[in-house]
Amino acid sequence: METEMIDLTKTVLGIELGSTRIKAVLIGEHYVPIAQGSHTWENQLENGIWTYSLDAIHTGLQACYADLKRDVKEKYGLTLTTVGAIGISAMMHGYLPFDKNDNLLCPFRTWRNTVTGEAASELTALFGFNIPQRWSIAHLYQAVLNGEKHVKDIAYLTTLAGYIHYLLTGVKAVGIGEASGMFPIDSKTLDYDAGMVEKFNALIAAKGFSWKIRDILPKVLVAGEKAGKLTEKGARFLDPDGDLVPDILLAPCEGDAGTGMAATNSVRVKTGNVSAGTSDFAMIVTDKPLGVHREIDMVTTPDGKPVAMVHCNNCTSDINAWVELFGEFARMIGSDIDKGELYTRLFNTALDGDADCGGLISYNYFSGEGVTDLDEGRPIFARMQNCSFTLANFMRTHLYSALATLKIGLDILTGDEGVKIEKLYGHGGFFKTPRIGQRMLSAAVGAPVSVMETAGEGGPYGMALLAAYCLRQDQNETLEDYLDKKVFADAKTVTIMAEPPDIDGFAVFLTRYKKAFPVEHKATEVL
């Protein structure tokens, strides 16, 4: 047990429900993580829909919090009874419709589903604004088009983060960044776009529903606003042991895009970050309106600035699957190598590979992919007979594959829209092995990539920072200044710029990747 003591009232808790892990990060007065908790989980494909059950959501969140409590007890000898503020985050988008009695009307449809193509296309044309398949409004309108009976009974439509926030506070509200993945946002009014609201209401008017779209969407709040307090019921839900006290302030809940921006100090105009885990996405804060591109989402920062987002459904899942396979082999030959060490060795091995991966090719598509217009995915690894089939090239191929779709989207942003990428911040599991993920991403985008020492903490850390922003004494302090001057003023950062051979090698790989793409298309038909 450490001898250092902490004042729990001056700590802040961020919790994020990610695709494969629920994680809690407790930060202290100096914005540094002091305790953590986690719980591993996985989505299920049921009746063609990627989902998590409410039971899995509830028990997973409680298990994560219990793990955090254990960490606090072991490190400081304290029972976690209170914190200064709490923030909830989760994977964005998706569809959680409830009736007036808070009954979930259909299984949770996550961001990973690509079943709303018809709705997304119609709404994009109607709004003159790109509506991706995973957005909540696309799921809702697709349910309307499908004639699903539950639609008439919807009293509240929210996201995973919004649902948890409601359980804890009774408040039906989300942060503006999270809201921007539900329905288009007007960055001037810091609310849902009024013109598009009217267009949607007119579109469904003939259906005769008792609700209009604003009736069922959560209220929009910006970073720094108070979003309710932990209720007695909410405290008992989060901590069934009964130790956690109510009346703790909650920040506006956010999506993993917004927390990633906060965690990497990327909320100023012309800054950007890449979050890379189960999915990967690049966020570039813009200073001008962009054209409509199916591959580019327009969302917002947690304080409402427009952000161009390239979101890819698939990133590290295929890498994880191969590491599991190598781990199984290691156990078979009597090795008890730690999984973290296995990841590190395999990632480092990629540096010895050929810059273009020696002729190997991989598609990491566990699910469909909007950027490349696939409704389903099939993981594929392929090679020519005369390729250089080495472990180093194999691993480099899978690291490149994890970034290839992201690069395709970014090329539209930089090419068609003239957006310059001068520097990116990376965070998430892809960057946990020092320098490797950075170098691969830099090779892909041809720009420097920086990673902070807190990069592995990712979203829950960013959510904790946003919750701490609610407690700041200077209410006139902007989110940018708060992050610059208080949180990251002395942050340790490593910046890497790929060498020209790496950049050229990735370009060769991407050309091969695009040329062979019909293989992936065919696989979704025959496998």
107 φ, ψ (degrees, to nearest 5): -60, 145
Q: For 143-169, what is each residue's pLDDT tens digit?
A: 999 999 999 999 999 999 999 999 999
Q: For 320-379, what is each residue's pLDDT tens digit?
A: 999 999 999 999 999 989 999 999 999 999 999 999 999 999 999 998 898 898 989 999
Q: Does position 299 have pLDDT exceeding 70, yes or no?
A: yes
Measure the CA–CA gap between 520 and 31, rounded to whole angstroms. Answer: 45
What confidence category does residue 260 fall into, taking pLDDT thresholds of 50, 70 and 90?
confident
Does residue 21 lie in a domain region?
Answer: no
Q: Does position 288 have pLDDT exceeding 80, yes or no?
A: no
3-state secondary structure 342-369: HHHHHHHHHHHCCCCHHHEEEECCCCCE
pLDDT of residue 10: 95
Average pLDDT over the chain reads 94
Tell which of 163, 187, 211 closes a domain.
211
Tell which of 192, 211, 230 closes a domain.
211
The alpha carbon dihedral of 159, 164, 165, 169 has a sign of positive
Does residue 269 lie in a domain region?
Answer: no
Q: Pairing relation of β-strands 449-452 and 424-427?
A: parallel
Measure the CA–CA gap between 251 and 471, rounded to whole angstroms. Answer: 9
Does residue 332 lie in a domain region?
Answer: yes
Compute how many other C-beta atoms are within 10 angstroms of the C-beta atom of residue 498.
23
pLDDT of residue 456: 56
Q: Does position 257 have pLDDT exceeding 60, yes or no?
A: yes
Least confident interval from 58-72, 409-423, 478-492, 512-526: 409-423
Measure the CA–CA gap between 513 and 28, rounded to whole angstroms. Answer: 45
Residues 327 and 207 in one domain: no
Q: Which domain holds residue 109?
A: 93-154+201-211
Does residue 296 lie in a domain region?
Answer: no
Specify whether the CB–CB gap between 87 and 14 falls below 8 A: yes
Residues 375 and 519 in one domain: yes
Enter the DSSP assignment of 244: S
Measure the CA–CA gap between 121 and 116, rounded to whole angstroms. Answer: 9
The CA distances from residue 175 to 97, 274, 302, 377, 483, in Å, are 18, 20, 7, 31, 18
Does residue 162 lie in a domain region?
Answer: no
pLDDT of residue 514: 97
Does residue 362 lie in a domain region?
Answer: yes
pTM for this one?
0.83
pLDDT of residue 269: 86
User: Which residues sit opposite 450 in a β-bridge?
Assistant: 425, 495
Q: Does position 129 have pLDDT exceeding 70, yes or no?
A: yes
Tell which of 176, 211, 246 closes a domain.
211
User: Which residues sit opposite 249 in a β-bridge?
Assistant: 85, 229
pLDDT of residue 235: 98
SS3 state at 486? helix
The alpha carbon dihedral of 418, 422, 428, 433 has a sign of positive
Number of folded domains that form the chain: 2
Q: For 383-437, what is each residue's pLDDT tens digit?
A: 999 999 999 999 999 999 999 999 999 998 888 888 888 878 988 889 888 899 9
Does residue 125 lie in a domain region?
Answer: yes
For range 221-233, the mean pLDDT: 97
281 φ, ψ (degrees, to nearest 5): -150, 145
187 φ, ψ (degrees, to nearest 5): -70, -10
What confidence category does residue 3 fall into, taking pLDDT thresholds of 50, 70 and 90?
very low
Most confident of 1-5, 288-292, 338-342: 338-342
Residues 205 and 331 in one domain: no
Q: Which residue has the higher pLDDT, 289 or 298?
A: 298
Residues 205 and 323 in one domain: no
Q: Is 199 exposed, middle or buried (0-12, 13-18, 19+ CB in 10 A)?
A: middle
Does residue 144 lie in a domain region?
Answer: yes
Q: Report the candidate in 114, 100, 108 with the shortest Cα–Cα distance to residue 56.
A: 108
